[in-house]
Structure 1
């Protein structure tokens, strides 16, 4: 039980740090807050509503991982390193792909709601 408690504390500390240090995390959390009522309006079924909220949460997960990669890379060296630059670019690409997936799902759900599909 102590391990679960420590993991919870570490999670809370990580979220607090990410919220304080990363504008993208703050923006994506705001999107999550907006996604809950929007999913209720747009989602045609309970399962679709959960999917819409979950895909926004997925974007936050990917952003947190990207932030961790960037913070670690910055800690390794302050000098320009092409390999580290490529790693950071891949993390950014992962966020971009997650955002594209989220956007497509939301567009599909909207089309579903208005009767296009």
Structure 2
């Protein structure tokens, strides 16, 4: 149980750091906080609500991983390096894919609600 508690506090510290230092994380947290109550009005089906909230959590997860990759890359070499650039671009592409999935999921839910 002690290990789980320590893991929780480590995770909270990581999230707190990301919120304080990363604009993209702050923006995604704000969207998440606004979107959770909106999901309650957008659909009555709990599975759809879970999907709407879940894709936003996926976006946050991928953004946090991308932030970690960028921080590690900058630590390895603060200079511009073509291989590091590719690593960072791949992380950015992963965030873009997660955002695309979230956008499509919310769009389908919105269209279903309006039709």
The TM-score with structure 1 as length reference comes to: 0.95
Please tell me whether residue 59 in structure 1 is matched to residue 64 in structure 2. Answer: no
**Does the CA-based 8 Å contact 1:35-1:53 persist in structure 2?**
yes
Runs of 4+ in 1 over 4 A off after TM superposition: none
Alignment coverage as a number of residue pairs:
115
Which aligned pairs between 1:39-50 and structure 2 lie closer than 5 A?
A: 39-50=39-50
Q: CA RMSD of the aligned region, Å?
A: 0.8
Cα distance, 1:44 vs. partner?
4.2
Q: Which residue of structure 2 lines up, in the alignment, with residue 32 of structure 1?
A: 32
**Any stretches of 5+ residues in structure 1 without a counterpart?**
none
Q: Which residue of structure 1 lines up, in the alignment, with residue 94 of structure 2?
A: 94
Please tell me whether residue 110 in structure 1 is matched to residue 98 in structure 2. Answer: no
**Any stretches of 5+ residues in structure 2 without a counterpart?**
none
